[in-house]
Chains A and B, each alone.
Chain A
Amino acid sequence: MTYALEIKDLKKVYGTGVVALKGINLNVEEGDFYALLGPNGAGKSTTIGIITSLVNKTSGKVKVFGHDLDTDLVRLKQQIGLVPQEFNFNPFETVQQIVVNQAGYYGVSRKEALERSEKYLKQSDLWEKRNVRARMLSGGMKRRLMIARALMHEPRLLILDEPTAGVDIELRREMWTFLRELNKNGTTIILTTHYLEEAEMLCRNIGIIQSGELIENTSMKTLLAKLQFETFIFDLDRFDKKPEIKGYTSYFEDEQTLAVEIERNQGVNQLFEQLTQQGIKVLSMRNKSNRLEELFLKITEEKQPVEEKHV
């Protein structure tokens, strides 16, 4: 089977001696929407840097749709579109110049590139801004410009390194719809993000990198099934006597806010019954944090190297 991305025993030691990757093995299937998560400095950007040839690897193998990084670099590069974390376009060029030039670097003729620029700039809601210099765009527009630029050569694998950082929630949701559509049409997507809700909403499979090692590589469903409990927050109406909750681990975050850990399959009916019996009115209820976030913190905490834990 040809994978969209195959990584074997990938290692990276920087000139300073910092070991960024300790031998990562990872396969991403064609058509997948894959989340690559990890704390800051875990090795996500180094991995992406190596795949896109911005970082030289120390050892290991990388293949994209069967094209080897060492022996078939040109074809490998043709398959990939990259949306980097930082804005890296020329701010003095116009929006259309940026996307048309980028297409040219991939061998797309100018005529074809101009046609595609209309398609992708319209999709990104930037067509009206095509003659505006990139530095004049808002943060959200700049993000969309980077996505449009990455799509100009119609890559089979799109890598997004924190594409929604600093983007407001409305725009983020628009981008999610856009990315889902893109994935539905056959583009394999690899996403790194700090918004775990984003990963949960979009991705089917997930890998977690920590301290240069891939500590989880599974489907989102399987990973979420590992979650033993979720913490819920109940905003309570005024009461005379603090309620006693039996069968649940609970604590008060403040006078009116009750946090309750609810185990898998435990249900909340009993909890509501207890509160009702004690005359407590629940005003609202919500998750303490996103469930993937809770799991992510738990996994990364467990797998933290001993020496780091005691620092």
Chain B
Amino acid sequence: MPRYLLKRLAAILPTIFFVTVIIFGLQQLLPGDAAAILAGENQDPTVIAYLRQKMHLDEPLPMRYAYWIAGVAHGDLGESLRIQEPVLGLILQKLPVTLELASLAMLVALAIGVPAGIVSAVGKDTVWDYAANLFALWGLSTPNFWLGILMILLFSVQLGWLPASGYVSPLEDLKANLAAMVMPAFVLGNAIAAVLMRHTRSAMLQVLNADYVRTARAKGLDERTVVLKHALRNALTPIITLGALEFGTLLSGAVLTEQVFSIPGFGKLIVDAVFNRDYAVVQGVVLFTSTVYIVLNLLADLAYFVVNPRLRG
């Protein structure tokens, strides 16, 4: 285990290095003088000169990268030009909201996707299989911001059951918080449910044809025990690890979902930053997201390693 862990850790170092190069490179895409652009409307020469000096714009590119990465290594992701606050602080402030949304969305996705996948695999080529496949196609083809608008139209405007937008902290009022999060969580979980359904279906189809499942049936076990106890247990491992990898999709989707439902999370932070030309925040959010994704990838790999004795050989 320690050797495997070390090997995996060594493999992610170059990945993280290239991620930082890509994110640093984003800044080079700005046309013209970066300091003048970053100064925004305020074209005061002193501000521009200050920014140029602060960003080391007069120095060669590799040196600028070195200064930037040294700051990042110390947790300094830069400062928001608009609110004059450290980017890391802003991210950590918004993170709990997005984490709550992402966790609820994942719950929705698991609650819909896994049972749909099981039903589809067990009843392969039956009407249930077709229905589950149609559901997956629907999930993969529906833009989540459109689904969000339609749900607002139905549940907020027509029926008046749920608030159309806004966010209440769960510490303040749990009921109001859940009422505000039901629709966003469903909208965000819908597409992931479709992906999980397809993974579950193919994983279940594989194990349902395995010899040990045939043996379990031959022993006279009822179909329910065979499917839920024998087959699902083995099919779940790849589903859970693949589920962890859907984190990227969740965060991408959160950007749009938070925009539709005016939820003040991570996604709204990056969109607001884009429109305020607050590039340090954009870079910070991308770097933070990628790092979390890489770490989750590693954890998923390790979890797979732990639960799959064959890999430990």
- Bound together: no
